[in-house]
């Protein structure tokens, strides 16, 4: 099975070698994506800029935990960016650090393993993007709150003033649509 695009492997290798120009290339390639994800979550330009800087620092300081042969660089760094934003939002809500610890655990690079070619990945990403457009308004709302606001299902129920069971059902149905679209586009099914 073909692994990740060689250029990301090379980029990660150069980052491991503390090549500052590799960080500039990483920024030029993925900075827009990382910034967009963070801005979507925090909805404040100055905060998003600070968090993007923090994200780059974290990538630089942790790149040596990244497995170049098997790792998926884009997935790893976009998750780091999203988690920095969620950590920030949770700090505003004065949530206990328990959740943050879980987020940090989920940045373990061993969880970001490449199983497909870049072309296959793009096909699946397009399918998921199209499936997002097919979600109804409530399904989209709960995904926005789980993925970009870092709320738990209980917190979503409180915010949307809906029964917890209804929220769980909305989350489950939305994710099932996305998961199915990814599988039908060539992903792996459980």
The interface with another protein within residues 131-160 (CB under 8 A) comprises 132, 143, 146-147, 150-154
In the complex with another protein, which residue's Cβ is closer, 24 or 161? 24
The H or E element spanning position 13 is helix 6-16
In the complex with another protein, which residue's Cβ is closer, 3 or 86? 86
In the complex with another protein, which residue's Cβ is closer, 5 or 27? 27
- Beta-ladder partners of 71: 113
Entry field: residues in the chain: 190
Q: Smallest distance, Å, CB 40 to another protein?
A: 5
Structural contact between residues 182 and 172, judged by C-beta atoms closer than 8 angstroms = no
Q: Does 182 bind another protein (CB under 8 A)?
A: yes
Residues 3-42 that bind another protein (CB under 8 A): 14, 16-21, 23-24, 27-28, 31-33, 35-37, 39-40
Q: Smallest distance, Å, CB 152 to another protein?
A: 5
Torsion angle, alpha carbons of 83, 84, 87, 93, to 10: -120
Q: Smallest distance, Å, CB 137 to another protein?
A: 17
Q: Smallest distance, Å, CB 67 to another protein?
A: 5
Q: Smallest distance, Å, CB 46 to another protein?
A: 10
Structural contact between residues 69 and 110, judged by C-beta atoms closer than 8 angstroms = no
Could you say which of 1, 6, 92, 98 contacts another protein (CB under 8 A)? 98
- SS3 of 139-154: the string is HHHHHHHHHHCCCCHH
Could you say which of 2, 7, 44, 57 contacts another protein (CB under 8 A)? 57
Q: Any idea what DSSP says for residue 135?
A: S
152 φψ region: left (φ > 0), alpha (ψ -120 to 50), beta (else) = beta
Of the candidates 90, 72, 71, 64, which has an alpha carbon nearest to the alpha carbon of residue 145? 90
In the complex with another protein, which residue's Cβ is closer, 48 or 161? 48
């Amino acid at each position: 099975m073909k692994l990740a695009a060689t250029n990301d492997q090379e980029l990660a290798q150069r980052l491991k070698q503390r090549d500052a120009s590799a960080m500039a290339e990483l920024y030029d390639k993925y900075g827009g994506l990382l910034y967009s994800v963070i801005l979507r979550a925090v909805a404040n330009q100055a905060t998003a800029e600070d968090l993007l800087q923090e994200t780059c620092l974290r990538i630089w300081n942790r790149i040596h935990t990244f497995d170049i042969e098997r790792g998926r660089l884009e997935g790893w760094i976009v998750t780091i960016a999203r988690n920095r934003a969620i950590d920030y939002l949770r700090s505003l809500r004065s949530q206990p650090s328990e959740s943050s610890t879980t987020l940090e655990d989920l940045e373990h690079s061993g969880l970001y393993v490449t199983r497909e070619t870049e072309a296959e990945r793009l096909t699946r990403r397009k399918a998921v993007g199209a499936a997002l457009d097919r979600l109804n308004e409530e399904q989209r709302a709960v995904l926005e709150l789980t993925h970009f606001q870092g709320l738990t299902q209980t917190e979503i129920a409180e915010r949307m003033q809906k029964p917890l069971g209804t929220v769980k059902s909305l989350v489950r149905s939305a994710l099932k649509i996305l998961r199915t679209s990814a599988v039908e586009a060539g992903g792996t099914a459980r």
